[in-house]
Amino acid sequence: MQNSRSPISQWNPNKNKILDDRLTINPSAKDPEGEIFHISFKYYNDKICEISLLQKNIARQALKNLKTIGRCFDLNSLKANNIDILHIAPSGAYKKLFTRSITEDIDLREHKIQGTSRLYYFISSKMFYIVAFTNAHFETNKQG
């Protein structure tokens, strides 16, 4: 039997490179994904959180909002993506959101999920800390 060459060229690692050198990733280059928010439940307040009480549509919207938040990188991008950035003062019914871990100097914020449901959060560097989900907003005219 005669040794004939195949009409299909064979891959040779020395001759054929899968990636061109110009396409390789520079390890010192900033990763744009590294600039987005990282969601954390480190300061999650189980005592006031009502995530288990969220109704089907509200729970679905809350999950969509978390997905959106995970793609944002600053307050302006949150606002541009319809995530509320309302500042919460440590007074009235909101006072119970502030704990030993979440002091009054933290810029706590509120997002209206749907109807009266709320997400309370704060941002530090690129961390988006979720404090609580509530099924109803707090009565702000009461002193607590």
Average pLDDT over residues 84-108: 90
Question: Could you tell me which residue, 41 or 143, shows the higher pLDDT?
Answer: 41
pTM: 0.72
Residue 143 has pLDDT above 80, yes or no: no
Kindly report the three-state secondary structure assignment for every residue of the chain. Answer: CCCCCCCCCCCCCCCCCCCCHHHCCCCCCCCHHHHCCEEECCCCCCCCCCHHHCCHHHHHHHHHHHHHHCCCCCHHHHHHCCCCCEECCCCHHHHHHCCCCCCCCCCCEEEEEECCEEEEEEEECCEEEEEEEECCCCCCCCCC
Domain 38-134, CATH number (from 1.10.8.350, 3.30.2310.20, 3.50.50.60, 3.40.50.2000): 3.30.2310.20
Q: Domain map of the chain by residue range?
A: 38-134
Work out the pLDDT band at 43, boundaries 50, 70, 90: very high
pLDDT of res. 44: 92
To the nearest whole number, what is the mean pLDDT of the chain? 81
